Structure 1
């Protein structure tokens, strides 16, 4: 059989499996999102100008303010030759300027490339070589790290901005002191000029709006090409599911340079005429203060952020009373953490699932009602496929599986990326006629609820038995005093691999390793139990809050 006919047969099988699951859910076809011809810039322009756009410490920026500042920056871009399809790199934390620069890039038809401010010069050089930017905007305290990597960029388009701009409070708990950046490259100078806005670009929904590099926790970062159609469709789905509107205030716990922050906080705010509450970066005590000051109504972030909030001794239910919904995604959630949060604050954290290549969420738990826990694995459901999404599970031969059978989660829908930037081979590995192979192992039940088991690459093979780290971590989270947990495989000459657990303790507590080991043995098969438990002050994480198992695994290999 030829490769082409094999692909056709596979797609037919996928579509048949998806149809069966839709029937199970009582749906006849995948919903088609409204306004398919719109761009993210159209969403922004449709918001009333007087509406608040960003609350930042003690200051408020309206959509008119963002429009005015982005016009001036877009005018500079146009004058310097930045146009449709060019890349504008944004290396900023959660500040109003992030929103301004993104909108300015779209006003000249450019592609936003959002990069992690934690990247160092050698990493930036590799990414700049890949995306070939026309302009770069960073923070002043990053200048000495960023500027040396911009050899191929017009120096007049390498600009900096300060975290302490657009506010007066200067909260030293989170805002850095000014950095050694040259005044000639200050973005504030551009904002102060009355530069005329450029002519409106010919921007269409199939143009790339965002080039977002995957976190690289499982390999070399790849740039996911997300079109304006992707951005608009997912934002509208999130707006409707989370019931966002002009009175909503979205707390920016996720970094805007991460897909959750960019899409569900910023673009969804445009779609809903809503405002964002930003605090530069997540700091638990600063976040709690912002909850009381700005009364946000919606939040979505990594479960580690909610754990950090729980670990604040002065956190009470009052801090969370303004929220209508609280969601978590980005990593599996231990049911014990959900229960502990609800018991302390009287609020439910709802689950979700998504990834960069899916423009964030593809599965969401309903806003109300119980979320099932799989009785065998103890996994909390990640929800059901959203509108405009088909999801199935396939085996290693990419054959569709039925309820309860474990395999790779495969998704088709309006949020699936166009592909990886300049990487056709890698694109072909994960995309099959619009179906994205996630690399995540999961299953669905008879009612259409999906459950995530783990990343395929994180599976541990101990004496030939499969061990999924998440299952072991969920047990460890149930032990009193555990704040964070991560399980990885370590090379073993007899077993092939053996299970190693890393944990951190809640403030004011100590972990009794022997007691934790007994706790695991009472709840897990012997081959799943950690043979080595190590207590750390903190576990390594990405900027978005995901615990990086590969960092722990690499540390074991180097010993």
Structure 2
């Protein structure tokens, strides 16, 4: 069953329902349009769909009507279902949609009323059964359905619980999208395992989320660093607003040391790093509670942590050989959280998961104390006049300027150097910093081949729904690309 909703209670209900029926869920990004939705439905073979009613009216109905999918049952839910207040910042234009007499369609509210008190036989899932298909493009190619098993998800839910020290009294703030592996495991599975309350807000709207923090006083959250940048930048937000948190983690995108320092200065909270991929069911590395991630002296990168329980991580060279401590190569991960493969794609499984070890496509290294550092994605490396430039290092440096709110660095064509370093920068509100001033500032702090020769100021950087900045869209904006 495909689950095509926002961060609503229905998402959790849908997961539990399909699992208790003995089936598997297909997590669908609510931003997906018709072509993307049709691919996921046909590739997965989904026969049912839990769908937000406005997404059914706007996108999904035409896909199902097209006849290319196997979907024969649709359960409609609404953003207005099971929420504590009709916040106009989220629901000003929201109205409920009915079934319009479509025999394929029922509403979740009607199903709940119809079967209230009924005893439905449940099927117990095996550990190796697929709990959720989460689609990822991985390093290359069309989207692939990572087969997240019940064993994978249970292991990493326990990792969060035991590593962070969470109990039933600790509220979990759900800022990551629930369709994403971080939301699935670090929010839903964790809350189900511990019995902790899960605080949701339909979609991420900074003012609404801050109000939810003030009202429900959660103790834990994990989200992309862009979430925390947005929250801490709101007017009127002070240290007292963050006092309920005992631990905050950030994952899904690299974190610059300057950003964590600023966040701690403003909130009193230290952001712990976490690292993982869809194929590792969220974390494979985390910074232990009570410890601060070291910063590599050479690159300026903030450590993503150490491997979590029962997890083996190697750094591999171009020929697949294991590299010694301190050398940069591809991160390869094996452990109970690593998925067994991709849905109906044996060739991609063999290529990316040889022998069950995930070749992440991320470049990094391990220091002598066992801390791991993420340098960048292999495909994002910039070749400037024969020198390797990792965008992450340049971004971390630019975050050190007090007027820089967000930044993304890409390589652009250069007739002389082959590629040149370009930075897209969003400034803090009220800043009058010019691109030329920022280039000069960077030039004083980086080698000649590394500093950005060009800086373009933008109001907002393009992001995925999980908060990752889209470098590929920025590259496409440049007329020379």
Give the TM-score category using the shorter length. Answer: over 0.9
CA distance in 2, matches of 1:369, 1:155: 49
Q: Counterpart of 1:54?
A: none
Pairwise mapping of residues 35-46 of structure 1 onto structure 2 (< 5 A)? none
Aligned equivalent of 2:250: 328
For the residues of structure 1 that align with 2:46 and 2:479, how far apart are their CA atoms? 36
Whether the aligned pair in 2 keeps the contact of 1:113 and 1:210 (CA below 8 Å) is yes
Structure 1 residue aligned with 2:215: 293
In 2 relative to 1, CA 423–202 (structure 1 residues): closer, same or farther, beyond 3 Å? Answer: same
Q: How does 1:245-394 map to 2 (within 5 A)?
A: 245-394=167-316
Could you say if the C-alpha distance between residues 156 and 398 of structure 1 is closer, same or farther in structure 2, counting changes exceeding 3 Å? Answer: closer
Secondary structure at 1:199's aligned position in 2?
coil
Aligned to 1:221: 143
Structure 1 residue 177 and structure 2 residue 94: aligned?
A: yes
Q: Distance in 2 between matches of 1:463 and 1:493?
A: 10
Are 1:513 and 2:426 an aligned pair? no
In structure 2, the partner of 1:244 is 166
Q: SS where residue 293 of structure 1 aligns?
A: helix
- Give the alignment partner of residue 399 of structure 1, picking from 296, 309, 321: 321
Cα 1:156–1:168 change in 2 (3 A) is farther
- CA distance, structure 2, for counterparts of residue 156 and residue 129 of structure 1: 12
SS of 1:188 mapped into structure 2 = helix
Aligned pairs, how many?
A: 472
Alignment pair present for 1:416 and 2:338: yes
CA drift of 1:244 comes to 1.0
Change (3 A) 1:374 1:129: same
TM-score calculated relative to the size of structure 2: 0.95
Unpaired runs of at least 5, structure 2:
none
* Secondary structure, counterpart of 1:256 in structure 2: coil
- 2:76 aligns with 160
Q: Separation in 2 of the partners of 1:183 and 1:92? A: 20
List gaps (5 residues or longer) in structure 1: 1-87
Structure 1 residues 137, 364: closer, same or farther in 2, change over 3 A? same
1:245-287: per-residue Cα shift (whole Å, max 9, x none)? 1101100010110000000111011111211011111111111
**Residue correspondence of structure 1 range 466-477 to structure 2 within 5 A:** 466-477=388-399
SS at match of 2:199: strand
User: What residue in structure 1 maps to residue 29 of structure 2?
Assistant: 116
- The residue aligned with 1:136 is 49
**For structure 1, which segment, 474-483 or 492-501, has the greater mean C-alpha deviation from structure 2 after superposition?**
492-501
Matched, 1:536 2:450: no
Does structure 2 conserve the Cα–Cα contact (< 8 Å) formed by 1:303 and 1:328?
yes
Give the deviation of 1:215 after TM superposition: 6.0
* CA gap 1:181/1:470 in 2 versus in 1, 3 angstroms: farther
Please give the residue correspondences for 1:24-39 in structure 2 after superposition, counting only pairs within 5 Å.
Answer: none
Q: Cα distance 1:399–1:216, how it changes in 2: closer, same or farther (>3 A)?
A: closer
> How far is 1:554 from its partner?
2.2
Is the 1:140–1:178 contact (alpha carbons within 8 Å) kept by the matching residues of 2?
A: no
Aligned-partner SS, 1:382: coil
Moved more, 487-496 or 386-395: 487-496
Q: Conserved in 2, the CA contact under 8 Å of 1:128 and 1:149? A: no
Q: Contact (CA 8 Å) 2:249, 2:271: kept in 1 or not?
A: yes
Q: Distance in 2 between matches of 1:97 and 1:199?
A: 21
- Measure the CA separation in 2 of the matches of 1:521 and 1:511: 15
The 3 A distance-change label for structure 1 pair 513 and 500 is same
How far apart in 2 are the matches of 1:217 and 1:277?
33
Which of residues 108, 111, 126 is equivalent to 2:39?
Answer: 126
CA distance in 2 between counterparts of 1:197 and 1:90 reads 24
Structure 2 partner of 1:145 = 59
Please state whether the residue corresponding to 2:360 is helix, strand or coil. Answer: strand
3-state SS of paired residue (1:245) = coil
- Per-residue CA deviations over 1:318-344 (Å, capped at 9, x if unaligned) read 111001100001111100001001111
Distance 1:145 1:422 in 2: 26
Give the alignment's TM-score, normalised by structure 1.
0.82
Q: Residues of 1 paired with 2:90 and 2:169: CA distance? A: 27
Question: Which of residues 378, 382, 406 is equivalent to 1:456?
Answer: 378
Distance in 2, matches of 1:236 and 1:127, equals 29
1-structure distance, mates of 2:98, 2:366: 52
What is the SS of the residue equivalent to 1:420?
Answer: coil
Cα distance in 1 for residues equivalent to 2:229 and 2:8: 24
Deviations 1:350-375 (A, max 9, x none): 11101100000000001112221000
Deviation at residue 555 of structure 1 after TM alignment: 2.3
Per-residue CA deviation, residues 426-465 of structure 1 (Å, 9 max, x unaligned), is 1111112121111000001100000000000111111111
Inter-CA distance 346–178: structure 2 relative to 1 (3 Å threshold): same
Instruction: State the superposition RMSD in angstroms.
Output: 1.7
The equivalent of 1:189 in structure 2 is 110
Are positions 1:203 and 2:125 aligned together? yes
